[in-house]
Amino acid sequence: MCLCSAPYPVTCVTRGADLMDAGVVVLCPPDCTQWRVSVFGTGVYASVSSVCGAAVHRGVLSPSGGPVKVHKLQGRYNYMSSYAHGIQSQPLTRWSNSFSLTKPVNVPLELTSDTSTTARPAAAPPVRKPPKKPSVKKALTGGNKDCQMDIAMVIDGSNNIGQRRFNLQKNFVAKLSAMLRVGPTGPHVGVIQASDSPRTEFLLTNYTQPKELLSAIKEVAHLGGNTNTGRAILHAAESFFLQENGGRRGHPRVMMVLIDGWPSDDLEQAATLARESGINVFLVSVAKPAPEELTMVRDEDFVKKAVCRDNGFFSYLIPSWFSTNKHVKPLAQRLCSHDGLLCSKTCFNSVNIGFLIDGSSSVGEGNFQLVLDFLVGIARSFDISDVGARVGAVQFTYDQRLEFGLSDHVDKEEVVEALKRIPYMSGGTATGGAISYTMQNLFRRTGPGRNFLIVVTDGQSYDDVRIPALDAQKHGITIFSVGVAWAPMDDLRAMSSQPKDSHTFFTREFTGLDEFVPPLVRAICRDFTENN
């Protein structure tokens, strides 16, 4: 039953911006899918969109038309495109105002029930609800500052789960979100639905108020199709946590994947990408395959291959969708465990990289610029920020000059510009003294993260390199030596960390330096992984 006044008639091309009132119920005509209606976004729509077209796209309105409630929202960045219910929505970088849509029916989301998601009949007497537990009530009031995670919840939208269990799944996700205490200063939650192709239901910053989030979860429509969980993980790993999509710099990335039974596709490649991207993948398996069903399972080890680490912490089994209540709190505690999130730290966001640059006369101005271009390529490979990877640089001849420290530039583009601006010194070559200077000045106060030094030189050092290099390595600095032209291999190997072959690079021409960027970055990541 509609609890509002009579619906306000609109046309198929009426836009959200044309409506003056918030929370207005409009009456859409039939056959709007026959018009070329413009819809921008998914779940949350730019106000330039057709209201009725967006309602059909969202699944809250059939092509035959009818009433729909319009909720006005603030403007957003990156409205996402998708195809649903015969409507292809379009992407939009930014718009000043937004709206969302619901059916004009008061359907309370019951946090204390496993099954009830329907409204009471209007004629029924009032039902006294059981008092909510204090923990749940508290969860609805604000953000949990002790759980500042960005959490992607991948839900199972396959035919296998069916509509009834899909509703139970949504109810479980709502309870879990309430227990996490989502809020502007606490965890942020977004939802992706796994089906034949994944669909982003809403992004991390679309709903940061508890009531809005719970309502959005309730409105998610069941897609059906196969359980292509691997595709959904890949989709989330590639784009969901980007800053332009609402990911917060320095906040641990968590992906909780719900599977009813088993996946239809392979998870290993997608999970590898997620791990390398610093995403902590939890896999929550509900109603695991029975022994007689194992022959239908594509890969019996799918849980081990999907999770961040196969140590038991990142996998969680729930026997049935009808017994989820007791699992809400322990799962929320795992998702909020800073100490347990082993995949948050990667080589891309947890290293300190020092560049030791030969500025001697034999290099020359033109070749010096090629060296800087090479170092820019390395720097661009890392997630540089005040809470991520950090980069500093020293130039040397007989003398040394600190070009910039590890904490001087906390943005990737700032580091790139600082590297490009380094002026060429010209002079002799004293590499050993430069290593000692770098250890004492660049790496003196590094803070968290593994320390790496990349030495680039084109000639023989006039002083000893072996003792300074060993001293630096004893202080936890891994050294890569990159030689060009006349750099002697004995010096390069003497400076390099063990094993020498994987930490020593040489090219005859300065133009060949660019080829070393990918293998050198891989070598840094390999060292980081092996020592963590």
Other Cβ atoms within 10 Å of 435 Cβ, number:
31
In a domain, 129, yes or no: no
Task: State whether 294 and 432 are in the same domain.
Answer: no
Residue 252, pLDDT above cutoff 80: yes
Q: What is the pLDDT of the chain when averaged over all its residues?
A: 86
Q: Residues 31-88: pLDDT tens digits? A: 887 777 888 889 899 888 899 999 999 988 888 888 999 999 888 877 888 888 888 8
- Measured CA to CA, the distance from residue 461 to residue 267 in angstroms comes to 51
Residue 201, pLDDT above cutoff 70: yes
The structural domain count of the chain equals: 3
Task: State whether 407 and 488 are in the same domain.
Answer: yes
In a domain, 276, yes or no: yes
Other Cβ atoms within 10 Å of 333 Cβ, number:
13
In a domain, 427, yes or no: yes
Other Cβ atoms within 10 Å of 388 Cβ, number:
19
Higher per-residue confidence, 91 vs 130: 91
List 73's β-bridge partners, or say none: 98
Q: What is the mean pLDDT of residues 358-374?
A: 96
Q: How confident is the model at residue 499 (pLDDT cuts 50, 70, 90)?
A: very high
Share of the chain above pLDDT 90, in %: 55
Q: What is the mean pLDDT of residues 199-224?
A: 91
Per-residue pLDDT at 17: 84
Domain boundary among 102, 132, 163: 102
Per-residue pLDDT at 130: 43
Q: Residues 373-401: pLDDT tens digits? A: 999 999 999 988 877 899 999 999 999 99
Nearest-CA neighbor of 163 among 85, 229, 224? 224
Task: State whether 257 and 365 are in the same domain.
Answer: no
Task: State whether 307 and 369 are in the same domain.
Answer: no
In a domain, 136, yes or no: no
Nearest-Å Rg of the Cα atoms of the chain is: 28
Secondary structure of residue 125 in the 3-state scheme = coil
Task: State whether 227 and 315 are in the same domain.
Answer: yes
Task: State whether 434 and 508 are in the same domain.
Answer: yes
Per-residue pLDDT at 314: 94
Q: What is the mean pLDDT of residues 125-154?
A: 61
Assess whether the previous peptide bond of 130 is cis (omega < 30° from 0): no
Secondary structure of residue 401 in the 3-state scheme = strand
Q: 126-130, 344-348, 388-392, 487-491: which range is least confident on average? A: 126-130
> Tokens 């998708």 appear where?
82
- Measured CA to CA, the distance from residue 40 to residue 81 in angstroms comes to 7
In a domain, 394, yes or no: yes
Per-residue pLDDT at 409: 93
- Domain around 55: 8-102
Domain boundary among 340, 366, 395: 340
Residue 476, pLDDT above cutoff 80: yes
In a domain, 372, yes or no: yes
Q: How confident is the model at residue 114 (pLDDT cuts 50, 70, 90)?
A: very low
Per-residue pLDDT at 466: 97
Yes or no: say if 281 and 153 are a contact pair by the CB < 8 Å rule.
no
In a domain, 12, yes or no: yes
Q: What is the mean pLDDT of residues 14-22?
A: 83
Residue 112, pLDDT above cutoff 60: no
In single-letter form, the type of residue at position 271 comes to A
Yes or no: say if 347 and 284 are a contact pair by the CB < 8 Å rule.
no
